[in-house]
Amino acid sequence: MAVRPLRDGRYAVETDGSTYVVDLDAHTCTCPDHQLRHARCKHLRRVALEVTERLVPPPGERTAVCAVCGGRTFVPTAFRGPALCPRHDHRPGDLVRDRETGTRLIVVAATDERADRVETVEGRLVANYPTNADYGAHEPVFRAVYLDSLRRDGDVRRYAFPASRLQRVGTRVTDDTDTESRPSPTEEGTASPTTA
């Protein structure tokens, strides 16, 4: 059996000799078994299994391409803007690590703007910072604050980063990213932060 999502939130299930339409929300299928007996047929079970395994999008979502890596992801049907896979998507409040410095930050805002179109306070494009050279200029920008800066009194400076420069804490981190032994990016000029 092959399952294909349809634009209206239903699914086409192709078998050797027929094609049936499954509506998961209504728990219906156009196959004779379901129509005559009102039983939960194998087509409903197959669609539910493929949704659970994330092989097809659930109702109300559609397949999209991650703006960073090109991988497949699911987004709400009416979603507009750059789609991001779970690896590259961050939400305000997420604890992340800067891949260049190993320093921990907290995401404060997600934008739909590209790194080659966002200017910093200094008037430079995020994509033009040397420390962002290894990241795509097409990537959406996230704004974050350094965790260390939250302890200080006064204003907290926000920095802008291309999506893939930030790594969610809790994902696989190598031993060479020990943040305690590294200076912060504002000390000793190790990596120029991108001030937003």
Q: Residue 153 pLDDT more than 90? A: no
Is the separation of the CB atoms in 31 and 1 below 8 Å?
no
Tokens of 144: 């974050």
Of 67-71, 114-118, 153-157, the poorest mean pLDDT is in 153-157
Tokens of 118: 């966002």
Sign of the Cα torsion 152, 155, 159, 160 reads: positive
Structure confidence at residue 69 (pLDDT):
92
Q: Which tops the pLDDT comparison, 56 or 176? A: 56
62-95 pLDDT, tens digit per residue, is 999 999 999 999 999 999 889 999 989 999 999 9
42-54 pLDDT, tens digit per residue, is 999 999 999 999 9
Q: Residue 192 pLDDT more than 60? A: no
Q: How many whole angstroms separate alpha carbon 60 and alpha carbon 74?
A: 10
Structure confidence at residue 157 (pLDDT):
87
Q: Residue 127 pLDDT more than 60? A: yes
The Cβ of residue 40 has, within 10 Å, a number of other Cβ atoms equal to 13
Eight-state DSSP code of residue 71? -
Structure confidence at residue 191 (pLDDT):
43
Structure confidence at residue 4 (pLDDT):
96
Instruction: Compute the mean pLDDT over every residue in the chain, rounded to the nearest whole number.
Output: 85
Closest CA to 76 of 64, 94, 90, 88: 64
156-175 pLDDT, tens digit per residue, is 889 999 999 999 986 433 33
Q: What percent of the chain has pLDDT over 90?
A: 68
pTM summary value = 0.71
Q: What is 88-135 written as a DSSP string?
A: T---TT-EEEETTT--EEEEEEEEEEETTT-B-TTS-BGGGSGGGTTS
Q: Residue 150 pLDDT more than 90? A: no
Tokens of 71: 């991988």
Kindly state the average pLDDT of the residues 4-27: 95
Structure confidence at residue 152 (pLDDT):
63
Backbone angles phi, psi at 161, to 5 degrees: -135, 145
Structure confidence at residue 38 (pLDDT):
84
Structure confidence at residue 170 (pLDDT):
64
